[in-house]
Structure 1
Amino acid sequence: MQIIALEKQITTQNKGHILTNTGVWSPDSNWIVYDTRSDPSGDVFDGSTIEVVNIHTGKVKVLYHSTNGAYCGVATFHPHDNKVVFILGPERPTADWQYSASHRQGVIVDVFHPDIAINLDARDLTPPFTPGALRGGSHVHVWDANGEWVSFTYEDHTLSQFKEETSEHEINLRNVGISAPLGRVHVKKEHPRNHDGEFSSVVVTRTTANPKPGSDEIKKAFEEGWVGTNGYLRSDGSRQRRALAFQGNIVTVKGETISEVFIVDLPEDITLSGDVPISGTETRRPYPPKGTIQRRLTYTADHKYPGIEGPRHWLRSSPDGSLIAFLMKDNDGIVQLWTISSNGGEPLQLTHNPWSIASAFTWSPDGSYIAHVMDNSVAMTEVATGKTLRLTPRSDDVNAPRPEACVFSPDGKKIAYIRRVPSDEKVYNQIFVVTLKKNMIKPLRH
């Protein structure tokens, strides 16, 4: 088996290290940002610091210490500036306001001014709700390629009191939202958890609690990704400047819930309300801005293995925005990489490997490769040919590359990921990097 890259362990401290599924590299490709949640997958939100490590020296800098009982995590870098955005849980949590999907926010810290966090999104829990403020929690914040708008997933506190949807009120459903730098959003301080935000935030997907079977209605929007570095070209040749691909849960005619690929085209002006106020009401979810267009791209209910499958992953677009990559099983039940045009059509199976794709994935900056884990190795697949290249030797199950992240650097020469490493009779997540030697690349031999 041909080894075609040089692997290096970057972190060594006996504590947790968690990478987000994208955006972990500094703009110069020399630093990696991570959080310090203690469990391997990061499912327990108990991290107290956001840190960066230099991949050449191993030097660690702490960017943020959470205080007053709050926790922090899921950090990503700005694509051009030395600042990071991440989740911050509630300070001074109380019995009725603990960390949860609807009780969290995004904050931004400048690398050169650590521990000074500014609020990304505003929160307003008292009606009438402030346009540009959220009524709940935001999660997994990722800048677009220009470093202007930020995407996130969202859950609503105001409607979380309702357990079943009726004609009189809706319920909380997971949706996708964005924050844009349109000026500081000021909210009234009539609730102790209200706060201002530096960006204006809106929900951009439309969900329904009880989708009609066989329709394009969805009851959950999640795991989104920006489309292209400058949007994508529509079929008529015009450019859609901003769009997000995301997974949407539909109900098939058989009554089964599966995930399909959706896209939402975003208007340039996100301040205009459509049929329902963008800030929502006491009984209605926040509504996408006027001009938002949501489309379903995949229709896989008739497949042998319908719907998006495999490890948890976020949809990722090619840099030119023409293709959206996702994971789905082939007819043999093996999870493969697939792509679909941003304009729709039939999905194309990219990989035909005997092993399932085993992680979230990212595209190389030039769009030539997709990095992922497979068969206990870090690998990358050539988009033009579908051939997969093994970058690290096959590991045993204990210290195999983890599924949460496999992230190309901005210079396209490195990939960051996590392995479990034993130390002092315990095992810890540690950050590793492979540096690519392209003159050594050979196709994987099965």
Structure 2
Amino acid sequence: MVHSGKYVGLLFREVGFLMLILLQGSVLGCYLNYSNVDKERELSDTLAVKEIQLTFGQQGHFLNQRQAFSPDGKYLVFDNRNDDSKIGENGSIQLVNVASKEIQTAYKLENQADYGPGTGAVSFHPKKNEVVFIHGLMNASAEIPYGITRRFAMQLDLDKSNSAQPLEARDVTAPFTKGALRGGTHAYSYSAEGQFVSFTYNDAILANESQTNPRIQDLRTVGAFVPGHRVRVEGEKNGENFDGNAFAILLANVKANPQPGSDEIAKAYEECWVGNSGYTKPTGEAQKVALAFLGDVISASGEIVTEVFIADIPENIIGLLDTVDAGSRTELPSVPAGVKQRRLTFITTNKYPGVQGPRQWLRSSPDGNSIYFYQKDEAGITQIFSVSPNGGDILPVTTNDFSADTSFSLSSDGKYLAYGAAEAIYVTRVEDGVTMQILANPNSQTTSLSNINWSNSEYRLAYNRKVGQGDQAFFQIFTLNLSTLVDHYL
């Protein structure tokens, strides 16, 4: 437990000494309470953690909130936004070499304007030299600009001359096409082996219908792409309708007016894959594919409360793709037969009801036994909690006396959580909740700490900060190698 966010330190109760992490320039020296000054200096040199700035240009270098590292950890992929909300105004995707700091442009739109098409929020495949990112519709204009129902997943093969193809098919002309979507997707996340890609979705057909029909709403939901099952759209191909390299399925049932006090949800979002290969049910049976997500319920008192849900996906999902329909002007495409949606948390009556805190995406332990999320404790402090995919008790992971204010990231081995608060970075050991502040705000010229990512195999963090340059500030990318520190003290 960190006893104060105002000083840089951690009381290790189990070993009975105080570790102070002192900021000196860009290097954090780790000092123990030894009486021998020479030993103290030697340990300090051994465990020094150096923050490395990788980018310096006068433009944004914006990481995704997950899967920013290449499979081998040698590259980070990013877009050139300098504001989280400006995907529609950004036209390029780049890579930076973690060792050499060399930057390469992987994708660039020649017709980019303030209204679109727009690109951003790019994720690396966990096994291949491939990325996927948000792409606005090619026919974007001042009259029909980039928007949440006017975007799709673009797939980029970095081993094939950066060949770009739509991952999803789009068809907004009735009769609609099975496996194609009718709106806009974002927040892509590859499953552990890359056989699925999750997404969050808004439907353009329902959004348009809602303009004249008050009974219809465009309800945000979640789903997944099944790569390798190409979808061909009938009829004319144009800026609105096109083929895609994956079959799209929705995985959450959402309703316009959920029954108060029920498990019905009006919105599904901020999802994650459960485990590297699913999780184990109480019966001992393996559930090999599952997606956890946040869902907005209506409490018995009529309040909107966010809870954690899960969709168990049948192992033979490929054989069930034909069970879906393509949707209508008043209905979303259907969820495949056999997908089972369950509510995992029941915290609507807490003093601080439901999932709360900064914008967050759920994370799962590699074994699938735990799903992590932010929630406020009884003192109103935002902490990380966990719940089993089988439901049951909600367990606290952190017991800090400060609230985290960034999204959090889980190391690839599931042992450590990293997150930020007041521009400082903290790491918590999942096993026992021991928390260490590993980086204070380096200086007053850096702000907007965000997008903390663990590397796929090393104890290395990458993250964004805005760095002042003259009268402007730009998102830059930084890394921290925590291997030595983790080996010795976490």
TM range (shorter): over 0.9
Q: Say which of 117, 122, 129 aligns to 1:82.
A: 129
Task: Give the aligned partner of residue 288 of structure 1.
Answer: 335
Q: Structure 2 counterpart of 1:411, which letter? A: S
Tell whether 2:53 aligns with 1:26.
no
* CA deviation after TM superposition for structure 1 residue 42, in Å: 3.9
Change (3 A) 1:441 1:329: farther
- Per mean C-alpha deviation after superposition, the further-off stretch among 128-137 and 370-379 is 370-379
Paired position in structure 1 for 2:231? 185
1:17 maps to amino acid: H
Deviation at 1:278, TM superposition (A): 3.3
Between 1:248-257 and 1:374-383, the stretch displaced more is 374-383
Contact 1:32 1:54 in 2 (8 A): yes
Which of 291, 304, 315 is the aligned partner of 1:244? 291
Q: 2:59 aligns with which of 15, 18, 23?
A: 15
Larger Rg: 2
The answer as to whether partners of 2:137 and 2:151 remain within 8 angstroms in 1 is: yes
Q: Secondary structure at the match of 2:210?
A: coil
Aligned-CA RMSD value: 2.1
Does the CA-based 8 Å contact 1:132-1:271 persist in structure 2?
A: no
- Could you tell me which of 398, 422, 425 is aligned with 2:471? 425
Bigger drift between 43-52 and 121-130 goes to 43-52
Q: Give the partner amino acid of 1:183.
A: H
* Uncovered stretches (5+) of structure 2, i.e. residues with no partner: 1-19, 22-27, 31-48
Q: Is the 8 A contact 1:376 1:397 kept in 2?
A: no
Deviation for aligned residue 1:78: 0.4
Q: CA deviation at 1:287?
A: 1.4
Cα 1:258–1:397 shift into 2, 3 Å: farther
Secondary structure at the counterpart of residue 128 of structure 2: coil
Partners of 2:275 and 2:438 in 1: how far apart?
26
Shift of 1:170: 3.7
Taking the TM superposition and a 5 Å limit, the aligned residue runs for 1:23-422 are 23-39=67-83, 41-43=84-86, 45-69=88-112, 70-94=117-141, 97-163=144-210, 170-190=216-236, 192=238, 193-267=240-314, 268-270=316-318, 272=320, 277-395=324-442, 399-400=446-447, 402-403=449-450, 405-422=451-468
Instruction: Kindly provide the CA deviation profile for residues 10-37 of structure 1, in whole angstroms up to 9, marking residues without a partner as x.
Output: 1111101111110000011111000011
Residue 401 of structure 1: how far off its partner (Å): 5.4
Note the C-alpha offset of 1:360: 1.2
Q: What do residues 209-263 of structure 1 show as CA deviations (whole Å, max 9, x unaligned)?
A: 1011111000000000111110111111111111111100111111110111111
Higher alpha-carbon deviation: 186-195 or 231-240 = 186-195
The residue type equivalent to 2:474 in the other structure is Y
Structure-2 separation of matches of 1:160 and 1:233: 39
Do the aligned partners of 2:78 and 2:121 also contact (CA within 8 Å) in 1?
Answer: yes
Cα offset, 1:119, TM superposition: 0.8
Give the residue type in structure 1 aligned to 2:63. Answer: L
Contact 1:62 1:114 in 2 (8 A): no
Contact kept, 8 Å, 2:209 with 2:330, in 1: the verdict is no
CA contact (8 A) 1:170 1:283 kept: yes
Shift in alpha-carbon separation, 1:129–1:49, aligned structure 2, 3 A: same
* 1:360 to 1:190, Cα distance in 2 relative to 1, 3 A: same
* Deviation for aligned residue 1:271: 5.9
**1:263 alignment partner, SS class:** strand
TM-superposed CA distance for 1:443, in Å, is: 6.7
Deviations 1:242-296 (A, max 9, x none): 111110011111111011111111123256479x943212221111100001111
- Aligned residue pairs: how many? 440
The 1:238/1:166 distance shift into structure 2, 3 A limit, reads: farther
Q: Is the 8 A contact 1:355 1:375 kept in 2?
A: no
Matched residue SS, 2:63 = coil
C-alpha displacement of 1:147: 1.0
State the secondary structure of the residue aligned to 2:296.
strand
Q: Indicate conservation of the 8 Å contact 1:9/1:431, yes or no.
A: yes
Deviates further, 188-197 or 283-292: 188-197
Compute the displacement of 1:391 (Å): 1.4
- CA shift, 1:431, in A, is 0.4
8 Å contact 2:255–2:266 — kept in the other structure?
A: yes
Deviation at 1:72, TM superposition (A): 0.5
Q: 1:319 to 1:298 in 2, by over 3 A?
A: same
The secondary structure found in structure 1 opposite 2:89 is: coil
Instruction: Give the TM-score, by structure 2 length.
Output: 0.85
Letter in 2 for 1:368: K
Structure 1 residue 358 displacement after superposition: 1.6
Q: Distance in 1 between matches of 2:129 and 2:87?
A: 28
Does the CA-based 8 Å contact 2:206-2:329 persist in structure 1?
yes
Instruction: Give the drift of 1:427.
Output: 0.8
> How far does the alpha carbon of each residue in 1:82-101 deviate from its partner, in whole angstroms, 9 at most, with x for none?
11000110123145532111
| Contact preservation (8 Å) 1:321, 1:342 | yes
Relative to structure 1, the CA distance from residue 114 to residue 378 in structure 2 (aligned partners, 3 Å threshold; closer, same or farther) is farther
Identical counterparts, % of pairs: 37
TM-score between the two structures when normalised by the length of structure 1? 0.93
SS of the residue 2:155 aligns to: strand
